[in-house]
Structure formats: structure tokens, C-alpha cells
Structure 1
Amino acid sequence: MSESITDSGHDTNSTFGTSHTNTSEITGTLGKINTNNKHFSYNYDDTLPKVLPSHKFRYSVWHDLRQTCLTGDQLHAPRVRAGPPEKEKQFNRVIEDGLPIHHDLSGRRRQNHMNELENWESAEVINLCYQELCHEYQWKNFYRILAKCQSAVTINISYNTIVSLKQIKFSRCEYINMHANYIGSIKDFPSLPKAKKIVATDNNIKTLDGLQSLRGTPLEELYLSGNNCSFEINYRQKVFQTLPNLRILDGVARLPSDSEFVEDETQPDNSRCTIL
């Protein structure tokens, strides 16, 4: 997408957009700020390029580049979002300093090159936050990568508008950060048989349904604040009652009051009888 710097809605003939005499000028990287004792106005520099130098890399991931030997597990925050169909049309055409920025591999050789450098299967730390996933093909590629992360012990997939991960299993994961997604239920969590710490703050979890599925894990810390479920009456007592091995909930260590028994409202009350 072409990026240009334009005057966004300023009327240069209005009071706030008019330059005055006897003003000081503060020169910045994008233009000049004209100041006086009443108003500030900003004049954009017309000499700036209409397209940023990084524009040529807008559809590229690291293993597409002509000279790279980095593997996925060596990158702290790799960009894995798949490019649109237009990417293939431009793959061999993008030039920098007279040379193509991408490699010249194709077909099976290109696929093998991608698999070798991605190496998600052996990565122990995965950080795939802020991927800005919008289209179906981007989600398909994202889930393809997650399914390969079977050696990952630490996983960060925050800020990705994820709705559900229930089809994914992270066999070795001990810590997962799913903060700021759109997950609607604990039942939509991935399978986490070895999880010790789960962060799922600021999602869309309405109830504590599905919490029982975490009972058999070594879970010690759970973070659900910012979800509707955290406002339930006796919220803390219900969580600790379901997860007796839990030590910390939402950053607060287990309190004596958290161990108070709470009736399960979902079960019928058989202690009463009706006399006709």
C-alpha cells in the first residue's frame, strides 16, 4: 500500500493555518512548525518522498530475502503474516541497487528453503504478537505455523484478534500469553497439558465454563482480568475451588478467603423437598 505524506484537512487560509510574520520556526524531520504567541501551525515538507524506502518490503518475510541465513528460532519477533496474491507477481521484480531483493528459488527448492529457515518445530520460544491478521489466507498461514510449535515452552501470541485456538495443542508449553485477543471462552483455549502460567487478560471470556479442563495441568498462575468472567460473584473462590493447585490469580496470591466453599449454581439443589 502506497504511503504518502499529505496535508490532512488543514485549511491554509484559516486562522489556525496561516503563517504570521515575526514567528519562530522549529524545524523537524517532517517539516516546520510556525509559532507565535497565539497559534501553532504545521507546514509539511513537499520535498519528502511519496513512498517510504521500506515500501518494497511490504509483502516480504525474512526467508524471502536474497541473502539471509537466519532461522525462525533466532528471531525475537518474526513477521509471519502471509502476503496477498500480488506478492507472487512482484517477487522477482523488486530491485534495489540493481539487484533483486528476493532469492531466485522456485518450486520445491523454494518450499524446502522456507521449511529449513522457519524451523518452528525446534523453536523453544515463540513470539508472534502483533501480526495484524485480516484475511483468510493470513489466518490459514498463522494456524499452520502454530500447529508446528510443538517444542515451544514459552509462547506469546498477544494482540492478534484470535477468536479460538481449541484445535491447537502446545505439548510442551509452560507459559502462554494470549492477552488482548477476542477469545470468547476458556473452552477455546489451546490444549496446554504442561502449562504453569496462562495469561488471557482483556479477551471476551464471559463465564468460567471450561475451567475444569485446566484442573489436570500443573497450572500455578492464571490471569483472566479484563474479561466479563472476572466480575462474577465469588469469582476468586470459584476459580480456586476448581483449580486447587493454583497459587496466583490475576497477580494476587491465594488468600484465606479464596478457600471458602462456594455452592455451584449450575448444579440442582437436592437438599430441599417440597411437601404438598
Structure 2
Amino acid sequence: LSLSSSGLNTNSQKVHPSNSSYSSDLSESPKWSALSRNRTLHPRSDSGISSQLPSDSFKYLTWHKVEQHDIQGSQLRCPRVREGPSAEELLFTQEECALFPRKRVLEKTKCETWLQENWEDCKNLNLSFQDLGDPYQVANFNRILRRLIRVETLWLVDNSLVDLSAIRLPSCRVLNMNKNHLTSFKQLPKIPQIQHLSLAENRIETLTGLSSLRCTPLESLMLKRNPCEFRPNYRNR
């Protein structure tokens, strides 16, 4: 092949005399038929040749990737000749394929470790406005809450939470669960060290279960805009 500085074939004016017969031969071969179904030939005039060439479907491939081809230089519109892989590179590729299952497992483990955040050491966390509308989201959200063994300040505002009774927050001192869907104190998580608890704008109707907070060092409790505000002796209790 003789290439000019622009990358075009200098013999472009001398089109192979057997183009028509060669095109019919390629169209009959199974490999050409498979490639012709996947690729559409569009005539281009950037190289001065307007006719469709049988080599168009190969022009974006390196030659060592084409198993069977019989294309001559005079049939190429813009040759892209590249050297095939060396023997060492082929050997390395074969060894890599042999170790692929083990390598895939290691890469998956590494990716999971990288994506995993260290929730166990978190002390201050705001997980508000999560828009938990799918059961999958709720399950993963609860999984994160179970790992918060050292969190001291936690905000869970407007998450459409219904029941966190299966969650334990052993170190939590400040918990804000405003604007959720709690209906009872029994749906609260286990918070033995709680000092400031805010449950405003929920759906708590009665004070049943309030006794569970008597064993805690609770200092403030916010229950604004809950139905229980209209219960008799609400302030006293």
C-alpha cells in the first residue's frame, strides 16, 4: 500500500478492474452477508470515489480482527493499516482469559468495598428527604440504619417512615423524625441514650407507648401538629 501524507490511497484513480465480480463474490460469502446485515454502506465523496466499495464494512476494523479478507489496496477508500498484536501480547491475552473468572471475582469485591461507606463510624448524619417510594429503597434504607451503631445526631425528616421498631440506635442523643407517617410511640427505634426527640407533623394519635422513654435521659420532646395534641391531659402526661 502506498499512502499519501493525507492518509488517502495514492492509487485511488486505479480502481481494481474486478470490482463488480469481486463484490458479487463477497456478497455470496457468509461472512460478508453477516456483516452486510449489520452495516449500511453510504457513498462518500470525501476521497473522490463515489462508488460503493466492498471494503467499506471493514474500514473501521484493524486487520488482525478480520479473520478472512481479500481486499486489495486499490479498493480501499482510506486505508487504516495497523500492525497486529505481538506474540507476547497474544500470550498475555490468553493467560488473562484463563484467569478471567478469578479476576472478575476480585474486581467485584474491590468495587463493593469501594462503594461501601463506613456507616459504623458515622456520628452526625442527615438522611432527610429521601423519597422512599419503592420497597427496595426502604429495605436498603433500613439496612443503613442498622449499621449506625455510633451515630449521635440523626435527621430523618420527610422520609415517609412508618415503622422503625426493628432498628436500634444505641448512641443516638438527638433524633429528628419530623414529617413522617408514625402513628404510635411503639414505632420508634430503640434509642436508650436519647436526649432530644422531635416528632412534629406525624400521625401520632395517642400517647400509648410513651412509657418506653421513661428509662432514657430525655430532655425535650416535640409533638407539634400531631393528633395527640387534642387528647385530654396532653400537657400533663
TM-score interval w.r.t. the shorter chain? 0.5 to 0.7
Q: TM-score, normalised by structure 1?
A: 0.47
Q: TM-score, normalised by structure 2?
A: 0.54
Pairing 1:108–2:117 present: no
- Which ranges of structure 2 fall in alignment gaps of 5 or more residues? 1-105
Other-structure match for 1:221: 220
Pairing 1:143–2:142 present: yes
TM-superposed CA distance for 1:194, in Å, is 0.4
CA deviation string 1:215-263 (max 9, x = no partner)? 000000001111111111110101xxxxxxxxxxxxxxxxxxxxxxxxx
Pairing 1:180–2:174 present: no
- Which ranges of structure 1 fall in alignment gaps of 5 or more residues? 1-104, 239-276
Measured in 2, the distance between the counterparts of 1:219 and 1:127 equals 21
CA deviation string 1:3-56 (max 9, x = no partner)? xxxxxxxxxxxxxxxxxxxxxxxxxxxxxxxxxxxxxxxxxxxxxxxxxxxxxx
2:115 maps to amino acid: M
- State the Cα RMSD in Å: 1.1
Three-state SS of the structure 1 residue aligned to 2:186 is: helix
Measured in 1, the distance between the counterparts of 2:107 and 2:128 equals 29
Measured in 1, the distance between the counterparts of 2:188 and 2:197 equals 10
- State the aligned residue count: 132
TM-superposed CA distance for 1:164, in Å, is 0.8
1:146 maps to amino acid: L
Measured in 2, the distance between the counterparts of 1:110 and 1:193 equals 36
Other-structure match for 2:31: none
TM-superposed CA distance for 1:137, in Å, is 0.7
Q: How does 1:163-242 map to 2 (within 5 A)?
A: 163-238=162-237
2:157 maps to amino acid: S
1:203 maps to amino acid: N
Measured in 2, the distance between the counterparts of 1:146 and 1:179 equals 17
Q: Which has the higher strand share?
A: 1
Measured in 1, the distance between the counterparts of 2:216 and 2:176 equals 16
Three-state SS of the structure 1 residue aligned to 2:112 is: helix
Percent of counterpart pairs with the same letter? 38
Three-state SS of the structure 1 residue aligned to 2:236 is: helix
TM-superposed CA distance for 1:156, in Å, is 0.1
TM-superposed CA distance for 1:110, in Å, is 1.2
Measured in 2, the distance between the counterparts of 1:125 and 1:106 equals 31
Measured in 2, the distance between the counterparts of 1:212 and 1:235 equals 14
Other-structure match for 1:70: none
1:131 maps to amino acid: Q
Three-state SS of the structure 1 residue aligned to 2:235 is: helix
TM-superposed CA distance for 1:113, in Å, is 1.0
TM-superposed CA distance for 1:106, in Å, is 4.7
Other-structure match for 2:131: 132
Measured in 1, the distance between the counterparts of 2:189 and 2:229 equals 20
Measured in 2, the distance between the counterparts of 1:120 and 1:230 equals 36
Three-state SS of the structure 2 residue aligned to 1:176 is: strand
TM-superposed CA distance for 1:109, in Å, is 1.3
Measured in 2, the distance between the counterparts of 1:188 and 1:216 equals 17
Runs of 4+ in 1 over 3 A off after TM superposition: none
Q: Which has the larger radius of gyration?
A: 2
CA deviation string 1:53-84 (max 9, x = no partner)? xxxxxxxxxxxxxxxxxxxxxxxxxxxxxxxx
CA deviation string 1:146-166 (max 9, x = no partner)? 111111000000110000110
Other-structure match for 2:120: 121
